[in-house]
Amino acid sequence: MTPIWVDIKEAINHNKKVIERNEKSKGVYIERETLVLELVAKELLKLKKHKTV
């Protein structure tokens, strides 16, 4: 695997598809990592809204 930077929404969607397909390569922490990505995305949205108001 080669790490690359991707949009956070793209990463969340990718992880959800991997979980849905139950791929053997998914690893044991993907559910937790996806949850954390969703929480980060939610907080970033809050910050963005706060700065534009």
pLDDT at 13: 97
User: Count H helices, E strands: the chain?
Assistant: 2, 0
Give me the mean pLDDT over the 28-52 stretch: 90
Question: What radius of gyration, in Å, describes the C-alpha atoms of the chain?
Answer: 13
* Whole-number Å distance between alpha carbons of 41 and 24: 27
Q: Indicate the domain borders of the chain.
A: 8-19+28-52
Give me the mean pLDDT over the 34-40 stretch: 97
Output the pTM of the full model: 0.79
> Average pLDDT, whole number, for the chain?
90
Give me the mean pLDDT over the 1-29 stretch: 91
Q: How confident is the model at residue 52 (pLDDT cuts 50, 70, 90)?
A: low
